[in-house]
Structure 1
Amino acid sequence: MTTYFIGDIHGYYNEFISLLKKIHFNNKNDQLWITGDLISRGPDSKKVLFYLYSIRKSIKLVLGNHDLYLISLSLGFINKNINDPIILKLLKDIKIQFIINSWLKYQPLIQYDKNKKILMSHAGITPQWTNIKTILSASKEAQNIISGKKNKFFFDYIDNEKYQINDWKKNTLIGFQRFSFIINAFTKMRYCYPNGTLEMLTKKAPNDINSIILKPWFNFSNILYKKYTIFFGHWSDLQGVKYTPKNIICLDTGCCWGNKLTIFTWETKKIYSITCKI
């Protein structure tokens, strides 16, 4: 069995399938880890969801911010700023609704392999979490809410910008605020302030910002960053592994911006890519 890791697919089905053929992926023998953001921006989000659902026993994925947005809208969540025709079209498909309700909303925010010492989330691992038990517990808490009966109330809360929580406060948060921080840390984080709290606005690469305060989350000191290999997506401006430490691997290489979709092979440490058309 070969273990592969792929970055944000964003609905680029043809390129996704071409890349799987390039590496000779066999869903009966191999395993594919996915950093989230399966849908949106690309032309074939529906095909991506159909295919991944068909091979669901062979994949390990985490939810990204675009996936959470799709789930929230499927609950009947009303947002006056909805301007993504791709997601609106998906929501009208009964089969997609089935995939969301029976499978997608039950997916975690973290994937963990104890033996291989691997962690994967959409945005990374916040400097404020230095214990693996905290990370797994936080993911489970959020997963239970996302798939639970009161999920709409929580999505209503975190969509409001004034309720964006960026400080874990040493594990003292409760309720909506706790859920908000967990979602922000796992799916939206890029930079942090010197004390480790999240900065939620800046997206550019480290060399392209004029700040002596902000640091990428992976440039902080955290025992987990040395103990595990960490895979994440979400931050296409990083241009893959250009800015990250050796064992922290960004796999979002900007497929939805006319750049590449990228796969990393665990056993050989080789990287394969394919250019996406926009």
Structure 2
Amino acid sequence: MATYAIGDLQGCFTPFMALLRQIDFNPGRDTLWLTGDLVNRGPESLQVLRWVFDKQDCVQTVLGNHDLHLLAVSEGYGKVHADDTIQPILDAAESKVLLDWLRCQPLMIYEQGYAMVHAGLLPEWSIKKALRLAEEVEDELSGKHHRQFLGKLYGNKPVRWQDDLKGMDRLRLIVNAMTRMRFINQDGELDLSYKGELDGAPPHLLPWFEAATRRSVDTPIICGHWSALGLHLDDDVLAIDSGCLWGGSLTAVRLEDRAVFSLPCQAYREISR
């Protein structure tokens, strides 16, 4: 029995299957943790979503920003971009079943001494507090008013956490931190303007996981979202979006011993031609 955490799939079903063969994944024995962004931009989003839905007994996933984008678009909200690849999901015969299942997935999980979230946690949040905040969003998504919630989700403000935030300001900041964050500024404010590599970051920004006051530092956090960061493994952060979609690699980490398994996606495309 083993638990494997795998980075953002984004509709890259064929490399995903190849990586599962590489690690000899057995759905009757092993468990997968997926960092979110199951869909979009890659060519096989429907196949990914179908497979994860079918294997939900042995797979746990958190919601990523692209998953939330799919849910919003399915309800008539948000702008469909030219490079989106979600239309086959919307057109599928089982679309409602898949989307109803997806919107009931968690924003964050905590098991086996690990926490997993798509992007990151704000410095003020302990693991216990972050789980409570994630539940606030999960209750909205799984509840009868989920359409109204999705319709008001888009936006970059507020940028600073306060315990007395209420309504959509509170919920939007929770979602933006957990599914979109890469950097914060020196005041601990969320900054969504820069999405690139660490070396090119403006000097007033720092990665969310380097905040000196971060209250979640004692728990290793598994995350994805930041393909420009690449594979980044520290004692307390396992950032495993290694850019499969962009010709990088797809990475799995076995949580029991932190063994790393990587499939070069460019090499995979060359072999499969």
Does residue 235 (structure 1) correspond to residue 231 (structure 2)? The answer is no
The residue type paired with residue 193 of structure 2 is: L
The residue type paired with residue 212 of structure 1 is: P
Match of 2:256 in 1: 267
Match of 1:247 in 2: 236
| 1:176-255 correspondence runs (5 A) | 176-209=168-201, 211-222=202-213, 224-241=215-232, 245-255=234-244
- 1:142-191, Cα deviation, whole Å (9 max, x unpaired): 011112222222222222x3x6221111x111111011001001000010
Match of 2:76 in 1: 76
Match of 2:138 in 1: 143
Q: How far, CA to CA, are the matches of 1:164 and 1:276 in structure 2?
A: 36
Q: How far, CA to CA, are the matches of 1:226 and 1:82 in structure 2?
A: 36
TM, length-normalised to structure 1: 0.91
| 1:14-163 correspondence runs (5 A) | 14-77=14-77, 79-101=78-100, 103-113=101-111, 116-129=112-125, 131-159=126-154, 161=155
TM, length-normalised to structure 2: 0.93
Check conservation: 1:12, 1:276, Cα contact below 8 A: no
Pairs aligned (count): 267
Q: Which moved more, 1:218-227 or 1:194-203?
A: 218-227
Out of 145, 166, 172, the residue aligned to residue 159 of structure 2 is 166
Q: How far, CA to CA, are the matches of 1:269 and 1:128 in structure 2?
A: 27
CA separation of 1:189 and 1:223: change in aligned 2, threshold 3 A: closer
Q: How far, CA to CA, are the matches of 1:121 and 1:176 in structure 2?
A: 20
Q: How far, CA to CA, are the matches of 2:62 and 2:225 in structure 1?
A: 12
- 1:3-62, Cα deviation, whole Å (9 max, x unpaired): 100000011111101100111111111110000000111111111111111110101110
Q: How far, CA to CA, are the matches of 1:215 and 1:4 in structure 2?
A: 29
CA separation of 1:221 and 1:245: change in aligned 2, threshold 3 A: farther
Q: Secondary structure at the match of 1:272?
A: strand
Q: Secondary structure at the match of 2:241?
A: coil
Unaligned stretches of 5+ residues in structure 2? none
The residue type paired with residue 235 of structure 1 is: W
Unaligned stretches of 5+ residues in structure 1? none
Check conservation: 2:253, 2:260, Cα contact below 8 A: yes
Check conservation: 1:106, 1:143, Cα contact below 8 A: yes
Question: Which structure shows the higher helix fraction?
Answer: 1
